[in-house]
């Protein structure tokens, strides 16, 4: 099975991974420390990072398939 995302989906996922996820992690980490929220911060950040890594792998696979089919 070949994974090839449309340009629109690829661009949206790439923006989310490069801009939104790091910004959210930074905001979330800062707020939990400033407001002394008693939550499992490390587990939440690790979960978000795992999802981001998985989506990044899918984007990478899609990019490789696109290059193979259009070269």
* Tens-digit pLDDT profile for residues 5-62: 788 988 999 999 999 999 999 999 999 999 999 999 999 999 999 999 999 998 998 8
Angle, vertex CA 60, rays to CA 56 and CA 61, nearest 5: 120
- What is the model's pTM? 0.81
Q: Map out the domains of the chain as residue ranges.
A: 7-69
Q: Chain-wide mean pLDDT for the chain?
A: 91
Q: In this predicted structure, what is the pLDDT of residue 43?
A: 97
- In this prediction, residues 66-71 reach a mean pLDDT of 84
């Amino acid at each position: 099975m070949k994974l090839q995302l449309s340009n629109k989906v690829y661009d949206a996922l790439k923006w989310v991974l490069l801009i939104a996820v790091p910004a959210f992690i930074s905001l979330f980490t800062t707020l939990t420390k400033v407001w002394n929220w008693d939550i499992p911060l490390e587990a939440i950040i690790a979960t978000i990072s795992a999802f981001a890594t998985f989506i990044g792998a899918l984007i990478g696979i899609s990019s490789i398939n696109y290059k193979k089919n259009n070269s």
